[in-house]
Amino acid sequence: MTLNWRAVFEDGRRQLLDAGIEDASLDARLLLQHSGNMEHSRLISLWPDPCPSAVVENYLTAIARRIAGEPVSRIIGQREFLGLDLAISPDVLDPRADTELLVETVLAKARGSKIRFCDIGTGSGAIAVSILKHRPEAECVATDISPAALEMAKRNAEYHGVLDRVEFCLGSYLQPLRGRFDILVSNPPYISRESIAQLAIEVRGHDPLLALDGGSDGLDAYRAILAGAGDVLVKGGSIFLEIGFDQAAAVTSLAEGAGFLQVEVLKDIAGHDRVLSARWPG
């Protein structure tokens, strides 16, 4: 018996609900749209029509993956970040809404100015690409230690038409940088190694370990970046770092110890410490 699109959607939604998935309706719709390769409005217009068996098969496979703990963004290979569609692969962190505060803070600082910035640990390129998209005169050098992540970031930069203003460099943290920058921005790996096992399956099972593992106390990347940041920033340049909710005191102390001034911590909408900003003297 051939089911219509509405009934196929409902079957998936019910399976997700029974599995305790919170956003069952949204997830089921996004997975059906992906399986049928169509926009929301087209799906609604097809509700009463028979759904092709190949679509049903893809959809039920996607529903099973979701029930096994795979995020929708991983299944469809795409994530929206600050209004931009970004392609993602198993080699990159699934960009988080939390990181939008980091980008918004940089954009507020770089209003109307022609800046040269670096994005350390660029992953999918979420930070670099969204800043370049919103600041058409800005230029960027983006680094990552993962060649596969840099390929994905390059693809996103190309898709969003900013590839001519970004240079992607392979290497550890600041090591590949040449010259000086007005702004250094980074969302580095900052989970302590022992707490990775306690993360939700959506995270520990699907984000690359390289994107999560911040060493034994979660602070290895901050140590490396803050120790060298003064050598790559212009006088009076700024640094913006995403931090874990319980890392404000430790990263503030590292920033001050490295010689940064005006160290400030911003909270996200959930009230958690999320972004540290500071100014290099001069």
| Shortest Cβ 242–ligand SAM spacing (Å) | 7
CB nearer to ligand SAM: give 110 or 191.
Answer: 191
| Shortest Cβ 27–ligand SAM spacing (Å) | 21
- List all residues 6 or more positions away from 232 whose beta carbon is below 8 Å from its beta carbon: 118, 174, 177, 179, 180, 181, 184
**Are the C-beta atoms of residues 42 and 90 closer than 8 Å to each other?**
no
| Shortest Cβ 86–ligand SAM spacing (Å) | 9
Q: How many CB atoms lie within 10 A of CB 47?
A: 13
Instruction: Report the distance separating Cα 233 and Cα 180, nearest Å.
Output: 5
| Shortest Cβ 212–ligand SAM spacing (Å) | 7
CB nearer to ligand SAM: give 168 or 260.
Answer: 168
| Shortest Cβ 12–ligand SAM spacing (Å) | 28
CB nearer to ligand SAM: give 6 or 160.
Answer: 160
CB nearer to ligand SAM: give 8 or 131.
Answer: 131
Binding site for ligand SAM (CB under 6 A): 92-93, 95, 99, 121-124, 126-127, 143-146, 149, 172-173, 187-189, 210-211
Instruction: Report the distance separating Cα 79 and Cα 256, nearest Å.
Output: 35
| Shortest Cβ 188–ligand SAM spacing (Å) | 5
CB nearer to ligand SAM: give 35 or 187.
Answer: 187
CB nearer to ligand SAM: give 36 or 214.
Answer: 214
Instruction: Report the distance separating Cα 130 and Cα 194, nearest Å.
Output: 32
29 DSSP assignment = H
Instruction: Report the distance separating Cα 128 and Cα 118, nearest Å.
Output: 8
At residue 229, φ and ψ (nearest 5 deg) are -60, -35
Considering only CA atoms, which of 129, 82, 97, 134 is closest in space to residue 113? 134
Beta-ladder partners of 265: 276
| Shortest Cβ 139–ligand SAM spacing (Å) | 18
CB nearer to ligand SAM: give 12 or 244.
Answer: 244
For residue 157, the SS3 value is helix
Instruction: Report the distance separating Cα 183 and Cα 142, nearest Å.
Output: 12
